[in-house]
Structure 1
Amino acid sequence: MMLPETAALPPHRHPWYAHLYVQVLIAIALGVAVGHLYPQAGAALKPLGDGFIKLVKMIIAPVIFLTIVTGIAGMRDLARVGRVAAKAFGYFLFFSTLALIVGLIVANVMRPGAGLNIDPATLDAGAVSGYAAKAHETSLVGFLLSVIPDTLVSALTDGNILQVLFVAILFGIALTLIGDRGARVVSVLEDISIAVFKLVSILMKAAPVGAFGAMAFTIATYGVGTLANLAGLVATFYLTSLLFVLVVLGLVGWLCGFSIFKLIAYLKAELLLVLGTSSSEAALPALIEKMERAGAPKSIVGLVVPAGYSFNLDGTNIYMTLAALFIAQATNIDLTLGQQLLLLGVAMLSSKGAAGVTGAGFVTLAATLSIVPTVPVAGMALILGVDRFMSECRSLTNFVGNAVATLVVARWEGMLDKEQLAAALAGKLPPVEDLPTGEVAP
């Protein structure tokens, strides 16, 4: 869809308090205050956060399905679809592996678990038994089979992102192969997508309420004081993730002609939403819309973003190797270079096996440790209390990583509108709510 001329739109400046990112930021601050000062009331606000995330998950499947189907069918070139998918997965594999290596190096240099001298026999294995059991259920073969839904329709009702992706790709290819009849269906789906994205913008108005409830519950339940016990690990993880985003992804962005700082500023509302809800899924529909507005074509956005949510988990991968070595150091277990490389290899596989699982970071860590018996799975009890705080950082890093991946793949394909990207990152595009009726984000 062509970008409306900005000059043709009447100037419309919203007051500062009307911007979503300001409202979410205020909601997060209030949530922290309520959770800390009134923990009982804060814990009772959990349904607000849960309810908002359920609202967003309700709309994720239709958004992904419509975006992918209309994008692939509109492309009318199956060879290009395959090429885009190959480039995206090549990118995912390289940077996911790099994130694992970065976590491994930082853990060896900073040694956040050294000196704790924990006796593995004293750890409460029961505290993490549920995660370990779920990890055993998510083998690589089981994961591959789970991508295939029971029925064509159940892919849209079960909420499994990969199943939606699988069905949407097949349906988009089918529409491409039937020619003009398929074009008529695509036209109808494009009209439906306008209504669906308008629904997304309506649901996003509840984001501050969801962020408030989720943050109040987190602080009330786990307490800010919990961070003090394992401050070294939490600080190391946040710093490592920040450096990965600013240095590694920043370099990638610079090579592709955009600034990582401007991209973060462009996505500030979505990042604050991820921070407040501790879920990157909460901002998935908005990320798809924002990437299209930034000049990436719908066909590429529809493939890269949903696939990246399962396969391009930079923050989760950093966490896995860093946390695994932290447990080893805390329990005075010295891992040889060979054992660490084995840990790295297993983590590469297990991170794909548990893709799409709720609490994937903790589950993938359990899967990795259960296969590498040198480090006790019971050691996960050491970080259980602060995992919620690290989950927010994982989600933020994963989110930024997928935004960068989308722009990079679009650039590789020569389909990135550089002028529109520059306008978006400079804040010169009209707000979505100011677009004429019937328009979707360009």
Structure 2
Amino acid sequence: MAHHIPHAPTAALPPAARPWYRHLYVQVLIAIVLGVAVGHFAPATGEALKPLGDAFIKLVKMIIAPVIFLTIVTGIAGMRDLGRVGRVVGKAFAYFLFFSTLALIIGMIVANVVQPGAGLNIDPATLDSSKVTGYAAQAHETTLTGFLLGVIPDTVLSALTSGNILQTLFVAVLFGIALAMIGPPGERIFDALEAFSTAFFKLVAIVMKAAPIGAFGAMAFTIGAYGIGTLANLAGLVATFYLTSLLFVLVVLGAVARLAGFSVLKLIGYLKAELLLVLGTSSSESALPSLIEKMERAGCPKSVVGLVVPTGYSFNLDGTNIYMTLAALFIAQACNVDLTIGEQLLLLGVAMLSSKGAAGVTGAGFITLAATLSIVPSVPIAGMALILGVDRFMSECRSLTNFIGNAVATVVISRWEGGFDREQFDAAIAGRLPSVDQLPEGTVAAE
């Protein structure tokens, strides 16, 4: 099968040959620092810069659906073996279910040990619940049945225009299977889609040039609107969440990576530009097309990347799951609600279901928390007003943890499934692949 991202030519110069300021991660890092400075020293200006961040995220969302569609269709059709498609999906969901549940349990254990909400003595009656009613209403609409029906688009074309990743995934898998089943007559369609795929990944490279501007606008708005000072009020919760997520990445995902024969720290280094972009925009979606391209480029089979990455964006939300149990128990502790072990296990079970029901919804973390609390009446949903001010700061950590979790899952499942190019992977994470400027025309490279 043709592959739109070639292996690195041996004669290529290393990426380090480029000036430091031409690396995307350097540009995004500078943009984040400038954004924080503008937001802090000129809050009104920072808030006014919100359209820059919004415009960049819209640019990325514009290309997410076709990138996912083309990657999955060409991956499945090129694989030919439909039994393998089922195996990849089965392994991916088994992995997602195990680690998502583990993340929920870790959040619950940490909340019980650290007790970040203890001593606040908040009276739920004094809280302004009007600010969270919108989230609660949206959560109420997101039932499991509604979620499953929502996976099916109104038309085949609307799956590419609705902005719903799961609808795109659903149609792409069906179309890829159909294309694989018709055999030789589908070769011309396959070749055309491969050509489209090359063009869209070049478009990804063009859009990513605007990443520093988007990160600058989004970070300036966040600091300008919410202020660094808002962190001080709930510093215990924010610090606990960041530390728990860090330990999850380094210890849990680090152990998984070690068992799979690679270093999670080196993988994080390889994805540093994307991680900084996620940090700047508070959205893991902003780096989704780039993650697909980079994981393929790092030797993961195209078919596995196409199935695991988009599905993981809805079902493998480690950061969101840690946040859900931690935040729910924080609210209970702050409002002096003493939950029994049974009630906490009920909370855990509801969170497992609601985290799938709200998958793919914008602001899924906060909405899923609202859905969980609405089903567990012992914890006042009005308590969500306590964390609304710092949720934006925690959403960055949620997105970063989700992103790293999906990158690790892609490598692990690629190894399980076979076809993983270890030599290519080692070259990628060691930075030995050529830069964009050194690749042949019509291809894209990792930053």
Shift of 1:425: 1.0
Structure 1 residue 106: Cα displacement: 0.2
Partner of 1:104: 108
Residue 157 (structure 1) shift: 0.6
Q: Distance in 2 between matches of 1:11 and 1:185?
A: 36
Q: How far apart in 1 are the matches of 2:364 and 2:82?
A: 32
Structure 2 residue 248 is the aligned partner of structure 1 residue 238: no
Question: Of 196, 201, 207, which residue of structure 2 is paired with 1:203?
Answer: 207
Task: Supply the distance in 2 between the matched residues of 1:83 and 1:70 (Cα, whole angstroms).
Answer: 17
What is the letter of the counterpart of residue 175 of structure 1?
L
In structure 2, give the amino acid aligned to 1:163: Q
Q: CA deviation at 1:441?
A: 4.7
How far is the alpha carbon of 1:170 from its aligned partner? 0.2
Q: Cα distance, 1:9 vs. partner?
A: 2.6
- Partner SS state of residue 10, structure 2: helix
Q: Which of 255, 260, 263 is equivalent to 2:264?
A: 260
Corresponding residue of 1:229: 233
| C-alpha distance in 2 between matches for 1:389 and 1:91 | 28
Give the alignment partner of residue 380 of structure 2, picking from 348, 371, 376: 376
Residue number among 28, 31, 38 corresponding to 1:34 in the alignment: 38
C-alpha distance in 2 between matches for 1:7 and 1:54: 37
Letter in 1 for 2:188: R
Any residues of structure 2 matched to 1:337-416 within 5 Å, and which? 337-416=341-420
Q: How does 1:28-67 map to 2 (within 5 A)?
A: 28-67=32-71
Residue type at the aligned position of 1:424: A
Instruction: Specify the code of the residue in structure 2 equivalent to 1:399.
Output: F
Tell me if 1:9 matches 2:18: no
Change in CA separation of 1:357 and 1:121 when aligned onto 2, cut-off 3 Å = same
Alignment partners' CA distance in 1, 2:271 and 2:141: 35
2:173 match: secondary structure: helix
- Looking at structure 2, the residues matched to 36 and 397 of structure 1 have their Cα atoms a distance apart, in angstroms, of 26
User: What amino acid is the match of 1:287?
Assistant: L
Shift of 1:5: 4.7
8 A contact 2:165–2:310 mirrored in 1: yes
For 1:78, which of 57, 77, 82 is the aligned residue? 82
Q: Aligned equivalents of 1:52 and 1:43: distance in 2?
A: 16
Q: Match of 1:333, SS?
A: coil
> How far apart are the structure 2 equivalents of 1:273 and 1:396?
10
Q: Which moves more between the two structures, 6-15 or 216-225? A: 6-15
Q: What are the Cα deviations for residues 189-237 of structure 1, in whole angstroms up to 9, with x where unaligned?
A: 0001111000000000000000000000000000000000000000000
C-alpha distance in 2, partners of 1:277/1:5? 31
Is the 1:292–1:441 Cα contact (8 Å) retained in structure 2? no
Instruction: Give yes or no for the alignment of 1:161 onto 2:162.
Output: no
CA gap 1:211/1:377 in 2 versus in 1, 3 angstroms: same
Distance 1:35 1:220 in 2: 4
Kindly tell me: are residues 372 and 262 of structure 1, through their superposed partners in 2, closer, same or farther at Cα, counting changes over 3 Å? same
Distance 1:11 1:122, change over 3 A: closer
Matched AA of 2:421: D
Residues 19 and 5 (structure 1 numbering): CA distance in 2 closer, same or farther, change over 3 Å? closer
Aligned to 1:149: 153
Deviations 1:13-50 (CA, angstroms, capped at 9, x unpaired): 11101100000000000000000000111100000000
Distance 1:10 1:330, change over 3 A: closer
Q: Which amino acid aligns with 1:439?
A: T
Give the superposition deviation at 1:260: 0.5
1:425 to 406, 426, 429: 429
CA deviation vs aligned residue, 1:69-114 (integer Å, no higher than 9, x gap) = 0000000000000000000000000000000000000000000000
Where does residue 336 of structure 1 map in the other structure?
A: 340
Contact 1:120 1:331 in 2 (8 A): yes
Per the alignment, residue 218 of structure 1 pairs with: 222
Calculate percent identity across the aligned residue pairs. 78
Greater Cα shift, 424-433 or 407-416: 424-433
Q: What is the Cα deviation at residue 184 of structure 1?
A: 1.6
Question: Distance between the aligned counterparts of 1:95 and 1:11, measured in 2?
Answer: 36
Q: Which moved more, 1:2-11 or 1:191-200?
A: 2-11
Q: Which amino acid aligns with 1:224?
A: I
RMSD after superposition: 1.1
Contact 2:152 2:170 in 1 (8 A): yes
Determine whether 1:286 maps to 2:296. Answer: no
Within the candidate set 297, 303, 306, 2:310 is matched to: 306
- Contact 2:8/2:433, CA 8 A, preserved across alignment: no
Task: Give unpaired runs (5+ residues) of structure 1.
Answer: none
Q: Tell me whether 421-430 or 318-327 shows the greater mean CA deviation.
A: 421-430
CA–CA separation in structure 2 for the residues paired with 1:393 and 1:296:
26
Match of 1:324 in 2: 328
Task: Return structure 1 stretches of 4+ with deviation > 4 angstroms.
Answer: none
Structure 2 Cα separation of the partners of residues 192 and 221 of structure 1: 41
Q: 8 Å contact 1:84–1:413 — kept in the other structure?
A: yes
Q: CA deviation at 1:286?
A: 0.3
In structure 2, list runs of 5 or more residues that go unmatched. none
Give, as a single letter, the amino acid of the residue that structure 2 aligns with 1:397: T
- Which range moved further: 309-318 or 418-427? 418-427
Rounded to whole Å, the distance in 2 between the matches of 1:98 and 1:279 is 23
Q: TM (normalized to structure 1)?
A: 0.99
